[in-house]
Structure 1
Amino acid sequence: MKDSYRVLAPVYSKLSALAFGKTRETASISFLENLEGKRILIIGGGDGNAFKPLAKSLNGYYWELSPSMLHLAKWNLKNSGLSFHLGEFQGGEKFDFICLPFVLDTFLDEEFPEFLQKIRESLTPSGRVILSDFFPPQHLSQKLFHKGMIWFHRIMTNHRRNDLPDYPSFFDQAGFSLLEEKNWKSGWIRARLYKLRED
């Protein structure tokens, strides 16, 4: 498996902190509370640094595509009850919380329906999905920075997109209802809490 983040992995959290402070980490763990007895699924959590403050409360699965990132996540979350897995999420079990931290902006539009169907099938009836990611930038400085960020990731990690997915539309089409949203940087960074829609 090609490791697109092999070069960036050791410094990724430091670069993120320089650019965004603690905002990305805060967004990633938003809505994670009352975790006692809950099973959590984290997909694309990178080096796991964002989840480190909650490590002792985390039980479930951690999936990551980058071997380098997964290696760091195992160390950062060594005090957790998480089982670590390399590759694409395979499904097959149920979780109370499913976290998608800054990972869906790497998906192509045509990949969303199958992936979100797998997420639906992996969620308990009362379960919640937490999406944290970049949304359309609001100010000129943000727009320029975001373009530079995409350009940087396309060079360093073979990032496949030059824009952002329409998350709300994909989640709505997949049968999810938005319960709550938190915003940072004028809405450029958001955390959204979803549940399965009762049709």
Structure 2
Amino acid sequence: MYKVFVNDTPIIITSSLKKEKNFTSYNFNNINFKEILHQTKQKKGIGICLHSGNLESDWISFTSNFEVVSAAGGLVVNAKKEYLFIFRNNVWDLPKGHLEKDETTETAAIREVEEECGISDLTLIKPLTTTYHSYYRNGLKLKQTYWFLMHSDYEGELKPQIEEGITQVNFKKESEIREILKNSYANIRLVYDTYKQG
């Protein structure tokens, strides 16, 4: 299964015939891509499910409509079981950024977290998930973000990367996370939920 967010509305591409609650379903072979994208933008939160007979082939077909942009980021936990969040464009987010030429996803994830948060002493624990979201900037883009669970014992001052529009960087207690996620993106909630599910 693949899940692509258009704004915060999901398009699910799946080989499962299970009906998703409140989702409009289509056979992948019968879709008009532009129509599906337009419909997703109009529905505001109600998803679309595309049933596929050949998931990998249909995923390649689906992504051919975009310029795919690769990024990597991290969910950082400290010894107090607090989680590192950034505040950018009035929304809570996790640190992430584009891969540079010939850079691995692991290296990019650590570099981006360090740059955006002014943190060091990061240890990469394991891959968490990969998220997808589309946006329009000089053409239709599909951002594919590789997420990693990280740990840090850093106790110095955190410094937001202001030139990237980040105004706050904070470690948040677990009791604060659900409230923070109400003012975040669907793919960030997905990363956190993946972590919590183990």
User: Would you tell me which structure has more helix in proportion to its own residues?
Assistant: 1
Higher Cα Rg, which structure: 2
State TM-score, norm by structure 1.
0.21
State TM-score, norm by structure 2.
0.21
User: Would you tell me which structure has more strand in proportion to its own residues?
Assistant: 2
